[in-house]
Amino acid sequence: MTAPTATRTVAVVVAYNRRDLLIEVLDALAAQTASVAAIVVVDNASTDDTAALVRDRFPQADLVSVDRNTGGAGGFAIGAARAVVRQKADLVWLMDDDTVPTDTALAALLASVGDDHRVTVAGSRVVWTDGQEHPMNTPRVKPFVGGRERAAAHARAALPVRSSSFVSMLVRADALLENGLPIADYFIWNDDFEFSTRILRRSRGLFVPGSVVVHKTVKLGATDVDPGERFYYEVRNKIWLLGLSRGLNPAEKLLYSGSTVLRWARTFRGSANRPVLWAGLRRGLRDGLRTRPRPNRVALAGLGEASDDVAACEAGVA
């Protein structure tokens, strides 16, 4: 396995009110054994001193501050566009501000991707602070994968996958330009699933166990842990994804619909405050069925350079 030749990798970190963790993330990016050409930090209208911290302590970072919180989805759309349009990225490495990559995380991703342009997305193995596999970010092997694709992935010390996580996702810029940015109106939840399945509908994705990042969530938990009022976003966005996204074919939509119902049932069973979940379910179903996400040019309008970058990227101007 060899890293892709003549590539420029740009890291994108979306930050919101986690300045101390952000310091760890940016220090870890600077310590990568495979160099990061540039770092884009999207400050999503933090109310702490995140922006000042980045300017003072990490002046080499390309800081994009927006005046309203656009959620993880909007932040990654803004950051990915910035990386492609202004930083001229060949590869975009997306991560949250609580994702701390080990020093060889990028090198392992690059080695697995190599020069095979059929591989457009690669994701890291995600562990918690104690080294356990993080159940929130455990990938599933691509269903119905062919033997040839599986063997090609194994030869690259990887597994074929159908989706990937924004906790650590490496994306080819040309695939991003062809398939579009994350959808900002998703705000949180299912945005990375929709984005990665859209790109991987006609290309290949890898899970790279040798690339390790630490997801420093407050607790160790899976996606069926009680999310409280945020359950609304899970429901609404899943309805949008299953009904409107280009990422899944009809058979996959049926498969994921079934798994979604089972996961929601587990969430309700484990909840100590089911009325909140029922309210989120009703609202999410209503809005998921009656509305659709706005185009990014509308959802991310009025943000100055960030809006310009998104428009340019979605117009295919790199």
Tokens of 26: 């940016």
The answer to whether the beta carbons of residues 182 and 77 sit under 8 Å apart is yes
Residue 165 lies in a domain: yes
- From the number of C-beta atoms within 10 Å of its C-beta (0-12, 13-18, 19+), residue 147 rates as exposed
What is the spatial distance between Cα 202 and Cα 192, in angstroms, rounded to a whole number?
17
Q: What values do phi and psi take at 95, rounded to 5?
A: -160, 155
Percent of the chain residues topping a pLDDT of 70:
95
Residue 241 lies in a domain: no
Residue 159 lies in a domain: yes
- The model's pLDDT over 170-219, given as tens digits with 9 standing for 90+, comes to 999 999 999 999 999 999 999 999 999 999 999 999 999 999 999 988 77
* pLDDT tier, 5 (very low <50, low <70, confident <90, very high otherwise): low
The answer to whether the beta carbons of residues 55 and 278 sit under 8 Å apart is no
* pLDDT tier, 224 (very low <50, low <70, confident <90, very high otherwise): low
Q: Diameter of the chain by CA atoms?
A: 54
pTM listed for this prediction: 0.92
Where do we find the tokens 């939840």? 189
pLDDT at 220 over 70: no
Tokens of 107: 């090198």
- The model's pLDDT over 250-260, given as tens digits with 9 standing for 90+, comes to 988 998 899 89
Residue 236 lies in a domain: no
The DSSP bridge partners found for residue 220 are: none
The range of the structural domain enclosing residue 172 comes to: 9-223+293-314
Residue 278 lies in a domain: no
Helices (H), the chain: 19-30, 50-57, 71-85, 105-113, 147-155, 173-179, 191-200, 231-244, 250-269, 274-290, 296-299, 305-314
pLDDT score, position 217: 84
CA distances, 29 to each of 106, 166, 181, 231 (Å): 9, 16, 23, 32
What is the spatial distance between Cα 318 and Cα 316, in angstroms, rounded to a whole number?
6
The answer to whether the beta carbons of residues 276 and 161 sit under 8 Å apart is no
Q: How many domains are there within the chain? A: 1
- The model's pLDDT over 225-245, given as tens digits with 9 standing for 90+, comes to 678 899 999 999 999 999 999
Residue 276 lies in a domain: no
Residue 283 lies in a domain: no
pLDDT score, position 223: 55
CATH code of 49's domain: 3.90.550.10
Closest CA to 259 of 234, 286, 232: 234
pLDDT score, position 130: 87
pLDDT at 79 over 90: yes
pLDDT at 222 over 60: no
Tokens of 245: 């996204």
Give the SS3 label for residue 207. strand
Residue 195 lies in a domain: yes
pLDDT at 1 over 60: no
